[in-house]
A and B are shown apart, each in its own frame.
Chain A
């Protein structure tokens, strides 16, 4: 089955800096890659997703890139703000969805 690895497990940045979280997947048939943000005590919230026929997608300060050949995809957050502090999960899906272990992002004011 699919295996998703996510790095780093923790990330601390200064407010205004950029943050990058990387994921790799094992199943070349995976064709859908969502990213979730989870705040303390809440369920994961979808923040952006990308499909395998697209290399990059951007939504305001958030962007995701996909390299199908290398089987990795990344989340980029620019101009980070304290409210971006949360745990972020990547996932890869063909028929079922497999999640990375998560990255705890801390944005220091």
Chain B
């Protein structure tokens, strides 16, 4: 499981409330990612980090922010949750193998926004 944990694993919240998801890794990898998974769309990148306090936007970043104050933790925040953000969220880490960044995924967080 590449030493990745996500919390919470399940969450139900109401529209307009803030939500923070946490990804924790134990193997000191530089790169961390947040994806969302929706039927028919596969996995889509929300934000990623290439080091402490170094983050960048992905394909579907609107409505999300991230923070990385420590190597081991990468937080995803929905400032004001909407029903369209109901999804399964996966954190991933990567290590560089022969120049390519192989990614390993956490167990996921299932979020329902009512």
Main secondary structure of the interface of B (DSSP, over half): strand
**Residues 87-114 of chain B, each 1 if its beta carbon lies under 8 Å from chain A, else 0:** 0001000000011111111111000000
Q: Size band of the B side of the interface?
A: 20 to 34
Q: Size band of the A side of the interface?
A: 20 to 34
CA distance A51 to B100 in the complex (A): 9
Q: Are A101 and B41 in contact (CB under 8 A)?
A: yes
Q: Are A89 and B42 in contact (CB under 8 A)?
A: yes
Minimum CB–CB distance from B34 to chain A (whole Å) comes to 13
**Residues 17-53 of chain B, each 1 if its beta carbon lies under 8 Å from chain A, else 0:** 0000000000000000000000011111100100000
Complex interface: chain B residues within 8 A of A91 (CB): 43
Tell me, yes or no, whether A73 is within 8 Å of chain B by CB: no
Known interface pairs A43-B108, A99-B42, A101-B42. Does A93 touch B90 (Cβ–Cβ under 8 Å)? no
The one of B41, B59, B90 that contacts A43, using a Cβ cutoff of 8 Å: B90
**Residues 31-74 of chain A, each 1 if its beta carbon lies under 8 Å from chain B, else 0:** 11010100001111110010100000000000000000000000
Known interface pairs A44-B43, A101-B40. Does A34 touch B102 (Cβ–Cβ under 8 Å)? yes
Q: Are B45 and A96 in contact (CB under 8 A)?
A: yes
Minimum CB–CB distance from A27 to chain B (whole Å) comes to 14
CA distance A43 to B106 in the complex (A): 6
Known: A43-B4, A98-B59. 5 other contacts (CB 8 A): A6-B42, A32-B100, A32-B101, A36-B105, A46-B104
Q: Which residues of A contact B (CB under 8 A)?
A: 1, 4, 6, 31-32, 34, 36, 41-46, 49, 51, 89, 91, 93, 96-102
